[in-house]
A and B are shown apart, each in its own frame.
Chain A
Amino acid sequence: MLNAAIIITIILGFLGVVVKRNLIMKIIAMDVMSTGVIAFFVIWAARNGMFTPIYKPWRELAYADPVPQGVILTAIVIGLSVQALMLVGVMKLARNHPTLEVESIEQALTQATPDD
């Protein structure tokens, strides 16, 4: 159930990136997708147990797997920095294309400098 919800989150995020017209909306959709992927890691890490993986000899518990949790931290940081970078790029684009509609930006750019 939880698994299905996560997969749906990822697919919705991906569809958002493709379908949404506005650049900001696309970036938000990408964030939704990356949240889904992070949750995907967490859910797989917790498949054998939910407890925080801090070993105590007197506790017989089903611990969660720390490796995917550790790895996803890197991905979270990278995702954050990529998003920050994209937002800066969008800010600069917004100066001349205030609507940030992808279609109009692409049209304007191909008309300004046709390459073929």
Chain B
Amino acid sequence: MTELTLVWVALPFLLAFTTYLLPVLTRPSVIAMAVLTAVYAVQHGGLPGTTAVPLELRLLDHFGVTLRVDAQVAPMLLAHGLVTLVVALYLDRRFVGNRFVAMQLLIVHGSANAVVISADLISVYVALEVLSVGVFLLLTYGRRAEHQPTVGERQLWVGLRYLFMSNVAMLFYLMGTVLVYVRTGSFAISSLAAATPTALALITLGLLAKGAVFVAGLWLPLTYISADPVIVTVLSGFTTKAGAMALVRCGEASGVLAQWLPYLSAGSAVFGIAFALMSRTPQRLLAWSSVSQMGFVIAAPQWAGLYGLAHGLAKPLLFIGAAVTNRWRWPMLILGAASLAGVPGSLGYAAKALSLSALAPWHEWLLTVVTVGTTCVGIRVLLTPPPVTLKITHQAGWQDKVALAIWGGGLLWSGLPAAYSTASLLKALLSLSLGILLGLRPAGANGWFWERFPLKRSCSAEGSWRLDEGLEAVIGGLSVVLVLMLILFAGVNHVALP
């Protein structure tokens, strides 16, 4: 098993560099790799409702690399496999540079796998950095139609912004790791238990920024809006969640972080949904809702992987569905929105019910209220008319059918009887009906007050009011989060400090 794991971790990178020499093999190797990851994940308890023996690898001594594959991260690995598989099918010959993108996809896939299974801080750092370089190239190089062969400036700008943000955040993270090492003599995540508050704050900041949780996720909306829908699928499917998964893993090791994780989760959920409700275009609605969903992912550590899988299949379906105009649009949007809102029978419902039932009462109720907003977002995405001018997703493709079959089929998985308790069902139905009522706004009216909010401000002030999502705001936001984390971890603590 050890050898298989090592081969599986290294294979994407090996394949990616081999495909430079043999470009013909690019797409087949991406597909093969994605299938391999999916199989590997299933074997390690990736299917919802199954379990497996956790596999722990310690390569070299205690300075070396530690890997851990358990039933908690395996669903996330399954999401990596399924998302990569379908995205690889979208990268066909009709587009310029599809091979380069497919190669980057392999690298992104491999590094996301590595982030999720790494159990020491330095491996997480290296994998996250490779991930951000890969995501930058995906964002900027993108998938380009033949009539538009140059890189779009907007894509270039959001890519640069992402790289700036992630590099600065990871520098803070590095400072945190050396502080942990000095204190404990090890880089393992388990040594975070004895870390100083400063070290913990720095590490948390890095992971919050990469995982787009709370204010550190300010970079996410504009990035998701500007990029090509197929690339956004990769981002929302798994790369952004990799940071959140690493954060969850750190939270398990450190009592101080674990005690604040629920507040970060609640903050992210509310922050994201508030801005989602004020948005207009479907892409923006979905992007802000992603920030809110990150809060759900980190809410209950033992169900983080399952929630990641449910969200990692639903969001890609919604992003693709919102960009295409053929008749597969509606099934895609309906399935995605149903799972996102948590309609009983879908994977999203099961993940949400299981996560919420593991939380403290205040947290559970807050997230249930946020679910009402999520339903509202889903309904509004469904109600928006199809785009008139398409981005570069082509008209009717068999890829859309495959996407629907694999992602949508995954969302209909309901082998989780534990999630169907009366209380969870009642709560889900209540929040769903309320959300649908709020989402179907009265005809003729201009929408609820929160939808008009930015407009109203624009009448009084010069230019429309909007959240500053510029580069300075994104990076300045990091320092605000850092100060907040320092205050939380060092000042206000219920757990005895080491």
A contacts, CB < 8 Å to B: 10, 14, 17-19, 23, 26, 30, 33-34, 37, 40-41, 44, 47, 67-68, 71-72, 74-75, 78-79, 81-82, 85-86, 89-90, 92-93, 96, 102-103, 105-106, 109, 112-113, 115-116
| Contact (Cβ within 8 A) A115 B283 | yes
Interface of B is mostly: helix
Q: Mark B173-185, 1 if CB is under 8 A from A, else 0.
A: 0110111011000
| Contact (Cβ within 8 A) A115 B156 | no
Q: What count of chain B residues pass the 8 Å CB interface test?
A: 48
Bound together, the chains give a CA A12 to CA B133 distance in angstroms of 25
| Contact (Cβ within 8 A) B164 A30 | yes
| Contact (Cβ within 8 A) B178 A41 | yes
Q: Assuming the A-B contacts A116-B279, A116-B280, are A109 and B454 also in contact, with contact meaning beta carbons closer than 8 angstroms in the complex?
A: no
Taking each of A68, A85, A93, which has the highest tally of chain B beta carbons within 10 Å of its own beta carbon? A85
Kindly list chain B residues whose C-beta atoms are within 8 Å of the C-beta of A71: 122, 177-178, 187
**Which of A19, A68, A74, A93 lies in contact with B181, CB distance below 8 A?**
A68
Q: For residue B158, give the distance in angstroms from its CB to the closest CB of chain A.
A: 9
B92 within 8 A of A: no
B contacts, CB < 8 Å to A: 63, 122, 125-126, 129-130, 132-133, 136-137, 140, 151, 153-154, 156-157, 159-160, 163-164, 167-168, 171, 174-175, 177-179, 181-182, 187, 222, 225-226, 279-281, 283-284, 454, 464, 466, 470-472, 475-476, 479
Q: Assuming the A-B contacts A102-B472, A105-B157, A112-B154, are A89 and B140 also in contact, with contact meaning beta carbons closer than 8 angstroms in the complex?
A: yes
| Contact (Cβ within 8 A) B280 A93 | no
Nearest A residue to B454 by beta-carbon distance?
A116
Q: Assuming the A-B contacts A10-B175, A17-B475, A78-B129, are A30 and B154 also in contact, with contact meaning beta carbons closer than 8 angstroms in the complex?
A: no
Bound together, the chains give a CA A116 to CA B276 distance in angstroms of 12
Kindly list chain B residues whose C-beta atoms are within 8 Å of the C-beta of A67: 63, 181, 187
Q: Assuming the A-B contacts A41-B178, A85-B133, A89-B140, are A30 and B168 also in contact, with contact meaning beta carbons closer than 8 angstroms in the complex?
A: yes
| Contact (Cβ within 8 A) A75 B174 | yes
Kindly list chain B residues whose C-beta atoms are within 8 Å of the C-beta of A105: 157
Bound together, the chains give a CA A81 to CA B279 distance in angstroms of 37
| Contact (Cβ within 8 A) B472 A18 | yes
| Contact (Cβ within 8 A) B279 A106 | no
Bound together, the chains give a CA A14 to CA B472 distance in angstroms of 11
Q: Assuming the A-B contacts A14-B479, A30-B164, A75-B125, are A116 and B181 also in contact, with contact meaning beta carbons closer than 8 angstroms in the complex?
A: no
**Which of A44, A74, A79 lies in contact with B178, CB distance below 8 A?**
A44
Q: For residue A1, give the distance in angstroms from its CB to the closest CB of chain B.
A: 18
Q: Assuming the A-B contacts A18-B479, A115-B283, are A82 and B163 also in contact, with contact meaning beta carbons closer than 8 angstroms in the complex?
A: yes
Q: Assuming the A-B contacts A37-B175, A79-B167, A115-B284, are A89 and B475 also in contact, with contact meaning beta carbons closer than 8 angstroms in the complex?
A: no
Kindly list chain A residues whose C-beta atoms are within 8 Å of the C-beta of B159: 89
Nearest B residue to A45 by beta-carbon distance?
B178
Bound together, the chains give a CA A71 to CA B120 distance in angstroms of 12
Kindly list chain B residues whose C-beta atoms are within 8 Å of the C-beta of A44: 178-179, 181-182
**Which of A93, A102, A113 lies in contact with B470, CB distance below 8 A?**
A102
**Which of A33, A41, A92, A102 lies in contact with B168, CB distance below 8 A?**
A33
**Which of B140, B164, B466 lies in contact with A26, CB distance below 8 A?**
B164
**Which of B122, B167, B475 lies in contact with A18, CB distance below 8 A?**
B475
Kindly list chain B residues whose C-beta atoms are within 8 Å of the C-beta of A10: 171, 175
| Contact (Cβ within 8 A) B175 A116 | no
